[in-house]
């Protein structure tokens, strides 16, 4: 009997294991190429990240089906969001978001909201840094703020990406902190903005780290402060003397401005939990690759990862924050 008992026990274990295995095998997987929508133009921060992910997925064979990046930048990204919103129940369409997930519907009145989509995962948060030209006399954020305060309003010019989006919101926050208005000049992309500052056509920008890193390293731009509650954790030297971690926070420099931009993944509405899990796992695997770590370091990203309820709560909070900021600045659609 003991022999039979052993045998039965083994059979039971095998059976459970088999069920378990088939259970895994039956988990949802894409059956055709997955469209990866970028609600912004080619060459920008979101586009770079999407194409980078596409590269990692292809290189490490993380998915049997290909991931195809599609740019839908019309109407400050509204085109891309409406497309995914309209693809109800289609698991082969995902979208990478930037702050225009919140700002575009508020500024233009185009009818969509993050609740219309299925939140997947937060991949990282992008930082904002206050930059000036390296030839400018301002060595610290305090110097710059004092200069802005001492001159009449609109003397200083801030270049940024797009209108009534994150860069202009941050400018409005800085205006509030200094009590003096700066002239905000919108350009098409972050790369253009950085070059305008290198050419000294404007006085400052709030470029994301990755957009200005090469110019900083080349000695053309100077970072004054970072718009986060704490310094960056990257201590490897970027220039001869400074690392990302050496940049003080704006708060400590007397400009109480904090702003982070979401880099997250959303799915179409009406998809199943299985399908959401597949993509969450996929992006977990992407985040584990050394290539991704290198990319995060280069762009000085904040590596926060969130899914599920935690992510939804964060989204709700951030949306309310944008509403408040944009209402105050008068950016809401009438």
Partner 1 sequence: MEELNNLMHGFSVALTLPNLGFMVLGITLGILIGVLPGLGGANGIAILLPLTFSMDQTSAIIMLSCIYWGALFGGAITSILFNIPGEPWSVATTFDGFPMAQQGRAGAALTAAFTSSFVGAFFAVLLITFLAPLVAKFALKFGAAEMFAVQMLTFCSFVGMSKEPPAKTLAVMALGFAMAAVGMDTVTGTLRMTFGYPELLKGFDFLIAVIGLFGIGEILLTMEEGLAFKGKSAKIQLNVVLQTWKELLRYWRTSLRSVLVGCWMGVTPGGATPASFMAYGLARRGAKDKDTFGKGNIEGVVAPETAAHAAGTSALLPMLTLGIPGSPTAAVLLGGLLIWGLQPGPLLFTEKPDFVWGLIASMYLGNIVGLIVVLTTVPWWAAILRIPFSVIGPVIIVICAIGAYTVHSSIFDVVMMLVFGVFGYLFKKLRYPLAPLVLALVLGDMAESSFRQSMLLSQGSLDIFWANPLVAGLMLLSFTMLLWPIVPALKHYLRGRG
Using CB under 8 A, which of the segments 13-21, 55-63, 141-149, 303-311 binds partner 1?
Answer: 55-63
Strands in 93-97's sheet, in edge-to-edge order, are 67-71, 34-38, 93-97, 261-267, 118-126, 306-307
Site for partner 1, residues 87 to 116, rule: CB under 8 A? 107-110
- The Cα–Cα gap between 237 and 247 comes to 12
The residue from 21, 33, 88, 192 that contacts partner 1 (CB under 8 A) is 192
The residue from 10, 115, 201, 237 that contacts partner 1 (CB under 8 A) is 201
Using CB under 8 A, which of the segments 8-16, 140-148, 154-162, 250-258 binds partner 1?
Answer: 154-162
The distance from CA 120 to its chain's CA centroid, rounded to whole angstroms, is 14
Cβ 120 to partner 1, closest distance in Å?
21
The residue from 47, 126, 175, 228 that contacts partner 1 (CB under 8 A) is 47
Cβ–Cβ < 8 Å for 264, 123: yes
- The Cα–Cα gap between 216 and 242 comes to 10
Per the rule left: phi > 0, alpha: psi between -120 and 50, beta: everything else, 270 is left
Q: What would the DSSP string read from start to end of 219-230?
A: TSEEEEEESSSS
CB-nearer residue toward partner 1: 218 or 308:
218
Question: Does 287 help bind partner 1 (rule: CB under 8 A)?
Answer: no
Torsion of CA 69, 73, 78, 84, to 10 degrees: -10
Question: Does 66 help bind partner 1 (rule: CB under 8 A)?
Answer: yes
Binding site for partner 1 (CB under 8 A): 35, 41-43, 47-48, 51-52, 54-55, 58-59, 66, 68-70, 72-76, 78-79, 82, 107-110, 154, 157, 162-165, 168, 183-188, 191-192, 194-196, 198-199, 201-202, 213-215, 217-218, 220, 294, 298, 331, 333
């Amino acid at each position: 009997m003991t022999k039979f008992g052993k045998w039965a026990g083994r059979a039971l274990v095998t059976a459970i294991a088999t069920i378990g295995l088939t259970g895994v095998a039956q988990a949802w997987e894409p059956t055709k190429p997955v469209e990866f929508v970028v609600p912004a133009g080619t060459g920008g921060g979101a586009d770079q990240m999407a194409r980078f992910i596409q590269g990692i997925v292809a290189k490490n064979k993380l998915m049997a089906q290909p991931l195809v990046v599609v740019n839908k930048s019309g109407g400050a990204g509204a085109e891309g969001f409406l497309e995914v919103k309209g693809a109800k129940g289609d698991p082969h369409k995902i979208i990478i978001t930037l702050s225009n997930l919140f700002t575009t519907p508020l500024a233009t009145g185009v009818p969509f909201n993050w609740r219309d989509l299925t939140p997947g995962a937060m991949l990282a948060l992008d930082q904002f840094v206050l930059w000036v030209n390296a030839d400018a006399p301002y060595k610290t954020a305090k110097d710059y703020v004092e200069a802005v305060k001492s001159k009449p309003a609109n003397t200083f010019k801030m270049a940024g990406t797009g209108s009534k989006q994150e860069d202009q919101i941050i400018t409005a926050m800085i205006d509030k902190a200094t009590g003096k208005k700066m002239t905000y000049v919108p350009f098409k992309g972050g790369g253009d903005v950085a070059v305008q500052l290198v050419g000294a056509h404007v006085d400052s920008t709030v470029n994301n780290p990755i957009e200005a890193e090469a110019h900083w390293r080349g000695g053309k731009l100077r970072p004054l402060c970072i718009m986060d509650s704490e310094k960056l954790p990257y201590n490897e030297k970027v220039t001869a003397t400074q690392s990302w971690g050496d940049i003080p926070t704006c708060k400590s420099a007397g400009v109480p401005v904090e702003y982070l931009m979401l880099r997250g993944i959303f799915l179409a509405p009406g998809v199943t939990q299985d399908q959401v899990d597949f993509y969450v796992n996929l992006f977990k695997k992407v985040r584990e690759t050394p290539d991704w770590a290198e990319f995060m370091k280069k762009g000085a990203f904040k590596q926060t990862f969130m899914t599920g309820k935690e992510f939804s709560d964060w989204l709700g909070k951030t949306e309310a924050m944008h509403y408040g900021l944009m209402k105050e600045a008068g950016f809401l659609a009438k």
